[in-house]
A and B are shown apart, each in its own frame.
Chain A
Amino acid sequence: MSKEEVIDYKKTKKRLDGRKMDEIRPLSIKVGVIPNADGSAYLEWGQNKVYAAVYGPREALPKHTQNPYKAVIKAVYRMASFSVPDRKRPGPNRRDHEISKVLSEALEKVVFVNQFPNTEIAVMVEVADSNAGSRVACLTAAACALADAGIPMRDLVSAVGVGKAFNEIVLDLNKDEEDAPDAVDVPLAIMPTTGEIVLLQMDGLLTRKEWDAVAALGIKGCQQVYEVQKKALTERFTVEELNKKAVEKAVGVEKNTKKEVVLEKKVDKVDKKEKESKTEKKGKDSKSKKVRK
C-alpha cells in the first residue's frame, strides 16, 4: 500500500480485494485426502492452503507425556519453506510453537479426552501456501480431520480471523489488511452449536465498543465456516460416497484375489508337474527295479 494515499474503508465501502466488510474469502474443504492417516482434510481459504492429518488415539510416547485421566491432544503447526513470500527456514520457530499450543488447547475442549486415558491424539497441520489467517485455516481443517478420524467430539471447532483495517471492522483479513497502519487481528474460534469460545488472540488497538462489533462479526463468520465444514463432512459420509468406497474396496480385493487365484493355479500346476515328474520317476524307478529283477 502506498503511504501517500490514505485508504478509508468507511469511504470506499468496499475492500481492497472487492469483498464486503462481512464477507470471507472463498473457502473449500476436502475431507479424507491422506490415506495413511486416521483422519485428514485439505483446506483452501483464499490463498491459504493447508493439510491436516490425525493419527490416534495411540500410545503417548515418551511415557511421561501420558495422562492417566485423559488423552493428550498434540497439535503441531508447521509451515513449508515455500509457503511465505520470503523463504521460511526449516524447523519450528517460536511462532510455530505458540500456534501449536493454542491449537491443541482449542481442540482439547471438543474431544471427549476422558475416554482415552494414556493416549495421544496427534493432529498435524502443514501450511503449503499462506496469506494471513493461516492459524484459523489450520484449526478449521484440524477439526474436520478429527471428525473424519471418527474421534468422539462434543462439537466441531469453527474458526475465523476478524479485526479492524483501514478504519472499519472487517471479517477474514488478508495480508494487505493485516499490514494496514491501524490493523487489529483477532483470531477467533468457537464451538458452533454452543457459541463457546475456544481460541481467542488479539494484537492491535481496539476500543471497548469496537470489540463488541468485532466479537459479533467474528461469531457470525465462524457460523459461515461451520456450514462449509458440515458440507465437507456430509459429502464424505453420504450413503453414495460410502457405497462407492465399499465397492472400490471390494473391487480392489477382487482384483487381488483374482491375481492370487491365478497365482495359486500356477503354483498348483507347478505342484502337479512336480508330482507327475515324481510319479514318473517313481514309475521309472520301479520299472528299472523290475528290469533289474
Chain B
Amino acid sequence: MRSTVLEYDISKVIELARVGKRVDGRALDEMRDFTITLNKFENAEGSAIVQLGETQVISGIKMLVDKPYPDNPNEGAISVGAELLPLAHGDYEYGPPSMDEIEVARVVDRGLRESKAIDFTKLCIKEGEAAFVAFFDFYAVNSDGNLFDAGSIAGIASFLNAKIPKLDEENRIVKQEYAGKIELKRIPLLTTFVKVGGRILVDPTYIEEKAAEARFSVATTDDGFMSAMQKGVGGSFTLEEVNYMIDTGFKVANETRKKLLKMVGKK
C-alpha cells in the first residue's frame, strides 16, 4: 500500500520537474523557509532546533577535554555525529549507524572542518597534554528531506552560540561554568541539490530525494570559498550542471546565511 502511494508520488514529482514545477509550488532554485530555536537544551554547551520546511532537527554541542592527537599536539578537534531517529520517519530503524547517517554526518563535518572556520589551536589547553574536543551531534526529529542543509544550519547555529566550559587547575571541566565562546572565522553552509527528470532542484523534500537520479551538495563560505562537495545516489551530472549547482549554491547559501545570522542575533 505504502509503496504504491510512494510510486505515484515519485512519478508525479518527475512529471512536474520535467516542466519546471515542484509539488509544493516552489521555484527550482528556491529553498524552503526555516526557523531556528537557540539554546533550548541547557545541558548542551550550545544547541539549536532547526525547522526547514517540515524537516526538523535538534542539535547540541558537548565539549570534553582529551589528549591532543600526537600529530597535532597543539590542536583541539571537532566531531560531527548524525542520527536519523526512527521517531522522524517510518522508514528509519534503530541499530548501528546506517550508511546514510554516516554520509550526512561526514559531509556536514567536512563543510565545517575544511573551511577552517574554527581555529583548532584555540581549542588547545596545554600542548601535547590537553585540548577540547567539541562533539556536535544532530538528530532528525521529523524528516522531510535535505538533512544535509538542516544539519549544516544547525551546526553553524550551535557553534555560533557555544560556550567553552571553565576548567580547574587540573584541566577538568567545572560543570555549569563557562569561560569564553567558540569563534567562527567564516560561515560555511551546505546547499544540496537533486536531479529529477533532467532538472536540478535545490533543497529537496523527502519525496524529491526518493525521485532523485543524483544528489549533490556543496559547502560555500561568505568569503567566496568552497569547502566541501559531495555527489551522491546512482546517477550522474554533466560539468555544466555541476558548475550551475556551485554558482546557485553560492547564491542560495548567501541568502540562507543572511537569514541565519539575523535569527541568531549576530547581525
Contacts and interface: CB of A to CB of B under 8 A. Distances in A.
- A and B are interacting partners: yes
Interface of A: 33-37, 40, 47, 49, 51-53, 55, 58, 76, 78, 80-87, 90-92, 122, 124-126, 128-131, 255-256, 259, 263, 266-267
Contact of B58 (A47, A80, A84, A263): A80
A128 B88 contact: no
A81 B41 CA distance: 11
A34 B87 contact: yes
A259 B24 CA distance: 9
A78 B86 CA distance: 11
A84 B56 CA distance: 21
20 contacts: A36-B90, A36-B144, A51-B58, A58-B90, A80-B41, A81-B60, A82-B45, A82-B59, A82-B137, A83-B41, A85-B175, A86-B64, A87-B62, A92-B94, A124-B85, A125-B87, A128-B40, A128-B60, A130-B43, A267-B19
Given A34-B88, A126-B87, A263-B21, A82 B40 contact: no
A205 to B, nearest CB: 27
Given A36-B142, A51-B58, A80-B60, 20 more contacts: A34-B141, A35-B142, A36-B144, A47-B42, A52-B87, A80-B139, A81-B81, A82-B41, A82-B47, A82-B137, A84-B43, A86-B62, A86-B64, A90-B81, A90-B97, A92-B94, A124-B85, A124-B86, A128-B41, A129-B43
A258 to B, nearest CB: 9
Contact of A76 (B41, B54, B61, B94): B94
A82 B45 CA distance: 8
Interface string B59-91: 111101000000000000000010101111110
Given A80-B137, A82-B43, A259-B21, A35 B54 contact: yes
**A52, A81, A84, A124: residue with the most chain B Cβ atoms closer than 10 Å:** A81
A263 B15 CA distance: 11
Nearest to A84: B43
Nearest to B15: A263
Main secondary structure of the interface of B (DSSP, over half): loop
B265 interface: no
Contacts of B41: 49, 80, 82-83, 128-129
A85 B21 contact: no
Contact of B44 (A33, A58, A82): A82
Nearest to A38: B90
Contacts of B25: 255-256, 259
A255 B40 CA distance: 34
A131 B41 CA distance: 11
Contacts of B83: 90
B161 interface: no
Contacts of A81: 60, 62, 81, 135, 137
Given A35-B54, A82-B44, A51 B87 contact: yes
Given A80-B58, A84-B43, A87-B64, A124 B87 contact: yes
B90 A49 contact: no
Q: Which 5 A-B pairs have the closest CB atoms?
A: A82-B60, A87-B62, A82-B44, A129-B41, A53-B87
A256 B137 CA distance: 36
B182 interface: no
Interface string B120-161: 000000000000000101010111100000000000000000
A31 to B, nearest CB: 14
B16 interface: yes
